[in-house]
Structure 1
């Protein structure tokens, strides 16, 4: 049985969501594999010392910032984080080496940025020949040293032509760059469900005939949703997802409204609710906009100083593929909605042209990588057992000479 490790962390939620979705489809399609989800920070801090000292997980502060919309200034903070990781490179490698030696995976798939140099070097030294794969969970890299490291003999799985070109530009071999048709999203976004939208909207207190927007800012929501709800309270029917942010849900429910509004706390039924909507409003996260597009929803996103570095390309991807509207602020969300609805059919045709099958493409890519590694290992083992003829002849001659010398002594 082959052991496949999927490395993730909980910063932002998208990395874990990708690991869970990929793990589910791998177990279904490759039952002969043992698939393990490995939390990066549990490897680095197995005794949970950080939580015992601070009272929170390393990702909690980041997630709280996302929920409060405190994302301005993240570009210089990213550089600082990368500097700290470079300074801690040796102890990081040592910690990872110990982990690989104890757990002995046959394939490692990294779904996290920033740590891939340490992950690769530790795996190559602890378990030579075991492939390391970096699968970008963003639509593009944020060079340098974010997703794609130079001078590493490893594989990359890229969800856009932009990411493929970035890997090529850093000198990686073509056979180690694997293109997919998009981002990994949950399997249930591919389910075909016959739905009476008018009846379901009525059941939730929504107007069956009104254009409806779904508002989504990840698993913890965002205070930006309050401004959106206020701006659209008179004109636009909304479904708002607050995730684990119960305080935000209470605030949204308390806002005055004329247009119907449905506020949802944490739910696993996001695809079902999305099928009740006509368009998406949210931050340009790769997972959220990919899910919306999979459900046939044109999108409204913003790009400004608060947009995180790893999400800035996503707005360009929306524009270039004519998938919706990009504004500079949600303060103009009413105009963005009017603009989108005035060109709704055009955007919907473009959205429907996107055929994202990444969830089903990646298992075959990983299978090919594992097969190649197994073949190389088999060839090396066979070569060690059966050296070339000239080596065998030389060895025999040396042995004969040694025996003759011993007898003469």
Structure 2
């Protein structure tokens, strides 16, 4: 039987979109041949390439206000009708070459030209959202004219389903299944065994600091503040792709009784989360989605400005009482003592996680695709996929 083919539109901006496309590849199975392309990276605006690299530079250097301004004001203005036609032509060329059975997008801004390219070639279109605030995803989607498409969302909220329906996306086109979640995060782990594997004393509390796949410089501020506290903790610092940050952290002095790991970019974040007691992170939906799945209490960095579309994730963590916020470095000691050693608070966190529904993405996405493509359900079982990356690559949500 011929392998089914899927073309996935992804992005180098941040890491969440690549994680989402990798998740889909893991879940689709060996009857699918997946090709991943990066259309925004291939488009040139004002003759300048690599806009996503500039965005990553802003994130890794904590220039969030500039990133917000670029995304809110400049990026939408770039996708005028002329750019939409160029993007559609680019995607159509890829579709004609790959000849897929399905086009999936896991990125914002570009979904009108993506849907039009798929419509022109009579290919089903699936939009898999990776945010809990879809301001950046609804650009011009009120002009969707594709007869066969669906949109998946993390939860039913004004910022997700409400945003889509305000842009004339029919309710029956929207499926609430959770944000993409890699299969590793749906498993149970033996915490003590995971700690032993990394040489961490079983009784020592573990603080995981992870401020984005690009390795935010704010990591150093947190590391320096926590390392000097006499808490007897093991500190895991994720530096992503930021090598200069990793070198700087290696020179860090730590208080007696503390231990330290510096972890560069890794695909094994699930292991680090599984052995940790608390996570300090940015309010990115992917990381929060993963922490929720592994029932890891979350402390969100609010010392610096937040990306405007991620504010909703802060609200959700506070609403569901599965974590809190850090607004000043002076709060770190008291906050960590509470989250690590206050047994009453830790019991409340366990109870709060118990109330959250499970993420259904892994169990529901295949049926969504089957229905969209008209494939019999029995053809879609027990698959493991191989992937062809056409463009070279150097490099979540609470469902309510």
Q: Does 1:158 align with 2:160?
A: no
Mapping of residues 346-361 of structure 1, within 5 Å = 346-354=348-356, 355-361=358-364
For residues 243 and 292 of structure 1, do their structure 2 counterparts lie closer, same or farther at Cα, with a shift above 3 Å needed?
same
Q: Does 1:363 align with 2:358?
A: no
Name stretches of at least 5 consecutive residues in structure 2 with no aligned partner: 377-400
- Following superposition, the deviation at residue 35 of structure 1 comes to 2.7
Structure 2 Cα separation of the partners of residues 73 and 289 of structure 1: 24
- Following superposition, the deviation at residue 273 of structure 1 comes to 2.1
Q: Any runs of at least 4 consecutive aligned residues in structure 1 with deviations exceeding 4 A, and if so which? A: 41-45, 202-205
More helix by share: 1
For residues 115 and 304 of structure 1, do their structure 2 counterparts lie closer, same or farther at Cα, with a shift above 3 Å needed?
farther
CA contact (8 A) 1:44 1:96 kept: no
Partner residue, 2:279? 280
CA contact (8 A) 1:318 1:326 kept: no
Q: Report which of the two structures shows the higher radius of gyration computed on alpha carbons.
A: 1
Structure 1 Cα separation of the partners of residues 97 and 361 of structure 2: 31
User: Relative contact order (C-alpha < 8 Å, sep 6+): which is higher?
Assistant: 2
1:179-230 residue CA offsets vs partner (Å, 9 max, x unmatched): 11x2212222223343535xx5466454432322111122221111111112
- Following superposition, the deviation at residue 358 of structure 1 comes to 1.1
Structure 1 Cα separation of the partners of residues 226 and 203 of structure 2: 17
For residues 99 and 292 of structure 1, do their structure 2 counterparts lie closer, same or farther at Cα, with a shift above 3 Å needed?
same
- Following superposition, the deviation at residue 245 of structure 1 comes to 2.1
**Greater CA drift, 289-298 or 336-345:** 336-345
Partner residue, 1:3? 5
Give the SS at the match of 1:72: helix
CA contact (8 A) 2:108 2:136 kept: no
Structure 2 Cα separation of the partners of residues 67 and 280 of structure 1: 19
For residues 165 and 41 of structure 1, do their structure 2 counterparts lie closer, same or farther at Cα, with a shift above 3 Å needed?
closer
Name stretches of at least 5 consecutive residues in structure 1 with no aligned partner: 374-409
Partner residue, 1:309? 308
Q: Does 1:261 align with 2:264?
A: no
Partner residue, 1:26? 28
**Greater CA drift, 201-210 or 348-357:** 201-210
For residues 100 and 330 of structure 1, do their structure 2 counterparts lie closer, same or farther at Cα, with a shift above 3 Å needed?
farther
- Following superposition, the deviation at residue 253 of structure 1 comes to 2.4
Structure 1 Cα separation of the partners of residues 65 and 243 of structure 2: 24
1:222-242 residue CA offsets vs partner (Å, 9 max, x unmatched): 111111112212134321111
Give the SS at the match of 1:183: coil
Structure 1 Cα separation of the partners of residues 208 and 339 of structure 2: 14
Q: Does 1:80 align with 2:82?
A: no
Structure 1 Cα separation of the partners of residues 197 and 102 of structure 2: 47
Give the SS at the match of 2:7: strand
Q: With the length of structure 2 as denominator, give the TM-score of the two structures.
A: 0.81
**What's the Cα RMSD here?**
2.8
CA contact (8 A) 2:138 2:164 kept: no
1:372-402 residue CA offsets vs partner (Å, 9 max, x unmatched): 89xxxxxxxxxxxxxxxxxxxxxxxxxxxxx
CA contact (8 A) 2:320 2:352 kept: yes
Q: Does 1:291 align with 2:290?
A: yes
Structure 1 Cα separation of the partners of residues 221 and 359 of structure 2: 32
Partner residue, 1:319? 318
Structure 2 Cα separation of the partners of residues 195 and 211 of structure 1: 11
Structure 1 Cα separation of the partners of residues 50 and 143 of structure 2: 33
Partner residue, 1:169? 166
CA contact (8 A) 1:206 1:262 kept: no
Q: With the length of structure 1 as denominator, give the TM-score of the two structures.
A: 0.79
